[in-house]
Structure 1
């Protein structure tokens, strides 16, 4: 193994141990939680190493980085998640490689994704509604996302849109508002919203929450997917 391969293997093993321990503490089977490795700012060579170590789900947040990386790794069996705030002028590009977009937060984006997916894809594009727990009704969160009161209408729009598939919800632990510094409470609130969503959309059972610093809280609350970058790949280089 190269030094980088060894580093990633060791980091991945530690993260897997954390997830397994969190599942055990919560009384959940380990296979209920899927690890998504956030590979933003890291090269395609790292994605290849991770694939060799068994990783099958990766995430990116900037199309200008993700598109060429996905093309470089097109021979690998991977599920690509787009987790960043998405502008409509990037939608067509993103729909060419992403399997899931986790940052749906407005009707305009739903419409653009539906149009692009119909023209660019043979399969439906998975969509998660990003819930902003720091936003008031009708507002967007500081890190993107729709206020909890807006989830129902947005979910209905995704479910009705050609080329799209409503998979569930995503959140980022807020830095402001009533849930700031209260990750467990934030993720428990997301699970409450998910429960209501599944009453109308039973198949929308994916809950993406938790990152390197708070994945245990997300697992304890009931998240089905955790998005881990730094703990696997290391401290990120500063973006130019």
Structure 2
């Protein structure tokens, strides 16, 4: 039995939200003359019950993002059908890295060489290859996680030698602004940094640009995002703490 709460949407409302987001992604892709299949919608399900994840999966969403390991693990254990992909998108403490290696399909928030070293050791012990993104604090905000752009090349070169970590691109959390056009330069800078990293460390794909959230994902797509992380526009506002 599903319990209804302030964080629960009716299936019809959830379906409407998903349709709206998909339509806006399609509009942005068309505006940028990009193939729609280049863009992966990641539904950010942090603080939301697993029942909402199940409903969203029934609506065709297959990628879900979580910020906190301890909150995510019960959801993943409860609901991991074939075809679902769980992304860790929040800051990860190294003492919880083993749980991420075991449970998640991608870690988007590798923000230091130390964390990468821990992940490599844990992935090797489990004979697993872990897709990762390097989290870059492209705007230099003191309140945000992520490595500095200027240190990303040396870190990437080190990680490139780790056989159990697969660098698939970069991620950033843009500043919170009223007008999404204000963060266009941030997204553009991340794309340009990714291109430089791909040229310098060609043994990895560097395919993904994970950038853009509910308030700015259309601008992010116009600037090259291959992954957008959408929570509120799909699941509604998070419950107040």
Q: Which residue of 2 aligns with 1:133?
A: 138
Deviation of 1:75 (Å): 2.9
Deviation of 1:79 (Å): 1.0
Aligned structure 1 segments of 4 or more residues deviating by more than 4 angstroms:
none
Q: Which residue of 2 aligns with 1:142?
A: 143
Q: Which residue of 2 aligns with 1:61?
A: 67
Which residue of 21, 28, 42 maps to 1:22?
28
Which residue of 67, 71, 79 maps to 2:85?
79
The structure-2 alpha-carbon separation of the partners of 1:60 and 1:109, relative to structure 1 and needing over 3 Å to count, comes to same
Alignment of 1:143-182 (within 5 A): 143-174=144-175, 182=182
Alignment of 1:106-121 (within 5 A): 106-120=112-126
Task: Give the secondary-structure state (helix, strand or coil) at the position aligned to 1:101.
Answer: strand
Please list every run of 5 or more consecutive structure 2 residues that lacks an aligned counterpart in the other structure: 3-8
Deviation of 1:175 (Å): 5.0
Task: Give the secondary-structure state (helix, strand or coil) at the position aligned to 1:68.
Answer: helix
Task: Give the secondary-structure state (helix, strand or coil) at the position aligned to 1:238.
Answer: coil
Deviation of 1:143 (Å): 1.4
Q: Which residue of 1 aligns with 2:95?
A: 89
Please list every run of 5 or more consecutive structure 1 residues that lacks an aligned counterpart in the other structure: none
Which residue of 212, 216, 220 maps to 1:214?
216
Task: Give the distance between the partners of 1:77 and 1:44, measured in 2 at CA.
Answer: 16
After TM superposition, the score normalised by the length of structure 1 is 0.90
Deviation of 1:141 (Å): 4.5
Task: Give the secondary-structure state (helix, strand or coil) at the position aligned to 1:182.
Answer: helix
Deviation of 1:238 (Å): 2.5
Task: Give the distance between the partners of 1:141 and 1:117, measured in 2 at CA.
Answer: 30
Kept after mapping to 1: 8 A contact 2:138/2:149: yes
Task: Give the secondary-structure state (helix, strand or coil) at the position aligned to 2:30.
Answer: helix
Kept after mapping to 2: 8 A contact 1:167/1:205: yes
Task: Give the distance between the partners of 1:4 and 1:143, measured in 2 at CA.
Answer: 34
Q: What CA RMSD, in Å, does the superposition of the two structures yield over aligned residues?
A: 1.9
After TM superposition, the score normalised by the length of structure 2 is 0.90
The structure-2 alpha-carbon separation of the partners of 1:155 and 1:222, relative to structure 1 and needing over 3 Å to count, comes to same
Kept after mapping to 1: 8 A contact 2:139/2:186: no
Q: Which has the higher contact order (CA 8 A, sep 6+)?
A: 2
Which residue of 229, 232, 237 maps to 2:239?
237
Task: Give the distance between the partners of 1:128 and 1:103, measured in 2 at CA.
Answer: 6
